[in-house]
Amino acid sequence: MPVVDVQPDELRRLTGHEEKSDEEFKDDLFALGLEFEGVTDDGAFQLEFGPDRLDRLSVEGVARSLRYQYGDARGVSVPKTNDPDWTIVVDESVPDERPYVTGAVIRGVDLDDAALDSLIQLQEKLHATMGRKRAKGAIGIHDLTMLKGDVLSEQSTGNSITYKGIEPDGDTFVALDSNEELTPGEVLEQHATGRKYADLVSEYDRYPAIYDEIGLFSFPPVINGQRTEVSTESRDLFVELTGTDQWTIDRMCNIICYALAARGATIEQVEVQYDEGTVVKPDFDVETKHVSHDRIESILGIELEMDEVINLFERSGLGVEAELGEETVYEVSIPPYRVDVLHPLDLVDDVGRAYGFNELEPRYPDVGTVGQRHERSRLEDAARTSLVGLGFEDMLNFHMISEEENYERMGIEPGADYLGGGEPASITEPYSEDYTMLRTWVLPSLSMVLENNTHRAYPQDLAEIGHVAHEDDSENTRVAEARHVAAVVARHDATYEDAKARLATLCRDFDVELETPATEHPSFIPGRTAAVVIDGEDVGIVGEIHPKVLVEHDLELPVAAFEFDLSALQ
């Protein structure tokens, strides 16, 4: 979950509540759902919150929410915008994979160190969340005075920059934190930031690039050029965003504009000139959704007056008009920085938060239903109780295992028709070499437990009823899953009889008929191995574990074992 660093002094200044102590802020922030995680070296609060309210990814947004909470602000507020002077021309060469662009011009911003830090943090956090690590949306912020606009036409006084696609080595520029002219292709290989984000564009035929009259100044989504770097001296900014989805980058842009407007900057729109037509950004249109009074009451489980609901909406930074009729419906306006409102129920949640969910009195729902265990779970439980009665220690192992443990160390091979020989259901990109597939049988896990506990007292009689699986394309899930009953008897005088005797008792408990015709299995000693045949069906194996398997697991005493499909006991 996102963690945002917020300076309490900045909060005091931006909320206008100089009197608030750090402790008071912590409580107020918790009520907003922002959890205090700690303090940074320079005294900033580290706040953690759910990734829905991305408009709170900076101190400006947090302060705005607090002002609504305090009642200092109500309803929807939209910053004034000036008419466009700049145009972003989208060239037909723009990469198909990343066709969208948006932006804004910011004038008269007062960037002290704190404000600049906050802006950089907001940019990073938006990249990490909505921007999906820059894949879906990436932000470039430039010092406007360092840009020289192309003249669009003789009739127009406006300036333009161009978003286009270029060959990987089609041009050069000096990237941030660098001092040499590199092509975009070279940046991906030689520049630290380039290497970090290379995967985003390396498959593209043409690389995204933004030009002004002087030349290439930004290589989205990887890195900006050094020429337009923003500093505390910068007063006018050009914000551009590119991405794979117009709505996403527009909202990211809105969040940045709102943050800078909160610091007194003026927002100036830009035109984006696509082939299909020209649009004006940022787009601060206020959307509306409708929710009925009854639905609010039914979700919260309490009765509310209309005035109260309107107040709660406004205190959440939402605009509201009540439409009276057979049932009261609220038309709620949603500010353009909100990215989390997909459905009217999201507005009910805002009302609940403003009301205070913890103010609600819990009640046990007056709903009668009949509880029961699943048949499979009851069977498993009964079998486990029998095994424990036979003196087995009940084990619980991971379902994931490595091929080496599942097959090789047990002396078996995949694709064989004996127990455990099923084809592996393998994990595509395993995180650890110890867990690369689902186990096809349980005895490898029990053998590993024995191996890891040779320093513990014997006898070690262990049993596990557990999940096993193998690839089977005839299944809808492509994986055949089952529960196996497995047990090992490890003691200095363990023999086939020890395993068979216990297996026989278990079968008697479940009133099924056990036969043990001789068979062969590579994990067991020939001549001391039998198939477990229950009610006429071959469902498993019983025998003495082969010495090569014992030695492989550093075991210095005999082990008798059995394993079979639990469903045979049904």
Partner 1 sequence: MRLPESQVAVLNAASATDERTIAQLAEATDLKPETVTGAAFDLRDEGLVSVTETVEEDVELTDEGVEYADDGLPELRLYRAAMDVGDGDAVPMGQVIGASALGGPQVDIALSNFARKGYGHIDSGELVPDSDVDADADDEAAALAALAAGDHVDADVLDQLESRNLVVRRERTIRAVTLTDEGVTALMEGVEAAETVDRLTPEMLTSGEWEDVEFTEYNVEADAPEVRGGKKHILRQTADRVKDVLVGMGFAEMEGPHADADFWINDCLFMPQDHPARTHWDRFALDVPPMEDIPEDLIDRVRDAHLNGVGDDGDGYHSPWSEDFARAIALRGHTTSLSMRYLSGHEVGELEPPQRYFSVEKVYRNDTLDPTHLLEFYQIEGWVMAEDLSVRDLMGTFEEFYSHFGITDIQFKPHYNPYTEPSFELFGRHPETGELIEIGNSGMFREEVLRPLGVECDVMAWGLALERLLMLMYGFDDIRDVHGTMCDLDLLRETEVLK
Residues 31-50 that bind partner 1 (CB under 8 A): 33, 35, 50
Q: How far apart are CA 567 and CA 378, in angstroms?
A: 12
The answer to whether 570 contacts partner 1 (rule: CB under 8 A) is: no
Cα(68)–Cα(70) distance, integer angstroms: 5
Q: Applying CB under 8 A, does 348 fall inside the site for partner 1?
A: yes
Two tokens, residue 264: 């007194």
Q: Is 351 exposed, middle or buried (0-12, 13-18, 19+ CB in 10 A)?
A: buried
Q: Which of 113, 203, 231, 396 binds partner 1 (CB under 8 A)?
A: 396
Does residue 456 belong to the site contacting partner 1 (CB under 8 A)? yes
Q: How far is CA 335 from CA 209, 284, 317, in A?
A: 32, 8, 8
The alpha carbons of the chain give a radius of gyration, in whole angstroms, of: 33
C-alpha span between 557 and 470 (Å, rounded): 31
Q: Scanning residues 253 to 272, which ones bind partner 1 (CB under 8 A)?
A: none
Measured CA to CA, the distance from residue 228 to residue 143 in angstroms comes to 5
For residue 566, the one-letter residue type is L
350 among annotated binding-site residues: yes
Nearer residue to partner 1 within complex by CB, 106 or 139: 139
Q: Residue 247 interacts with partner 1 (CB under 8 A)?
A: yes
Q: How far is the CB of 384 from partner 1 (least distance, A)?
A: 6
In whole angstroms, the minimum distance from the beta carbon of 465 to partner 1 comes to: 9
Tell me which DSSP letter residue 327 carries: S
Query: Residue 317 has which token pair?
Result: 């930074």
Q: Which residues pair with 562 in a beta bridge?
A: 487, 542
Among residues 179, 231, 431, 517, the one that binds partner 1 under rule CB under 8 A: 431
Q: Which has the closest alpha carbon to 211: 147, 117, 304?
A: 147
Question: CB of residue 434 vs partner 1: minimum separation in angstroms?
Answer: 9
What residues numbered 81-120 form the site for partner 1, per CB under 8 A? Answer: none
Asked whether 143 and 152 are in contact (CB, 8 A), the reply is no
Give the x-and-dash track for 128-167 against partner 1 (CB under 8 A). ----x--xx-------------------------------
Contacts of 238 (CB under 8 A, 6+ apart): 86, 103, 105, 106, 141, 142, 143, 144, 147, 161, 228
- Three-state secondary structure call for residue 323: strand
CB of 385 to partner 1, least distance (A): 8
User: What span, in angstroms and rounded, lies between the C-alpha atoms of 115 and 106?
Assistant: 14
Looking at beta carbons only, is 20 or 132 nearer to partner 1? 132
Among 14, 252, 262, 463, binds partner 1 (CB under 8 A): 463
Answer for which of 321, 394, 413, 497 binds partner 1 (CB under 8 A) is: 394
Residue 2 near partner 1 by CB under 8 A? no
Residue 471 binds partner 1 (CB under 8 A): yes
Rounded CA-CA distance 238/236 in Å is: 7
Task: Yes or no: say if 239 and 258 are a contact pair by the CB < 8 Å rule.
Answer: no
- Site pattern 293..332 for partner 1 (x: CB under 8 A): -----xxxxx------------------------------
The residue among 10, 7, 11 whose CA lies nearest residue 67 is 11
| Site of tokens 């009261």 | 328
DSSP string, 221-279: TTEEBSTT---TT--SEEEEEEES-HHHHHHHHHHHHHHHHTTTPEEEEEEEEETTEEE
Q: How far is the CB of 143 from partner 1 (least distance, A)?
A: 30
Q: Near partner 1 by CB under 8 A, which window of 91-99, 116-124, 244-252, 542-550?
A: 244-252
Q: How far is the CB of 247 from partner 1 (least distance, A)?
A: 4
Whichever of 145 and 377 has its CB closer to partner 1, that residue is 377
Tokens of 239: 């914000």
Query: Which structure tokens are listed for 25?
Result: 């802020």
Stretch that binds partner 1, among 36-44, 101-109, 452-460, 526-534 (CB under 8 A): 452-460
Q: Interface with partner 1 includes 453 (CB under 8 A)?
A: yes
Nearer to partner 1 by C-beta: 87 or 254? 254
Q: Kindly tell me which of 49 and 173 has the beta carbon lying closer to partner 1.
A: 49
Report the residue number, 155 or 369, with the smaller CB distance to partner 1. 369
Under the binding rule (CB under 8 A), the answer on residue 517 touching partner 1 is no
Q: Which of 481, 515, 520, 538 binds partner 1 (CB under 8 A)?
A: 481
Single residue of 352, 414, 421, 543 touching partner 1 by CB under 8 A: 352
CA angle, corner 94, sides to 92 and 96, nearest 5? 105
CB nearer to partner 1: pick between 137 and 225: 137
Interatomic CA distance for residues 340 and 272, integer angstroms: 25
* Candidate list 148, 195, 290, 508; residue touching partner 1; CB under 8 A: 290
Tell me the closest approach of the beta carbon of residue 482 to partner 1, in angstroms.
Answer: 11
Residue 147: CB minimum distance to partner 1, A: 29
Binding flag, residue 384, partner 1 (CB under 8 A): yes
Examine residue 476 and tell whether it contacts partner 1 (CB under 8 A).
yes
Residue from 108, 391, 526, 527 in contact with partner 1 (CB under 8 A): 391
For 255-271, the three-class secondary structure string (H helix, E strand, C coil) is HHHHHHHCCCCEEEEEE
Phi and psi at 125, nearest 5°, equal -70, -35
- Whose Cβ is closer to partner 1: residue 3's or residue 174's? 3
**411 touching partner 1, by CB under 8 A:** no
**Interface map 359-378 toward partner 1 (x if CB under 8 A):** -xxxxxx-xxxxxxxx-xx-
Question: 340 a known binding residue?
Answer: yes
**Residues annotated in a binding site for Mg(2+):** 340, 346, 349-350
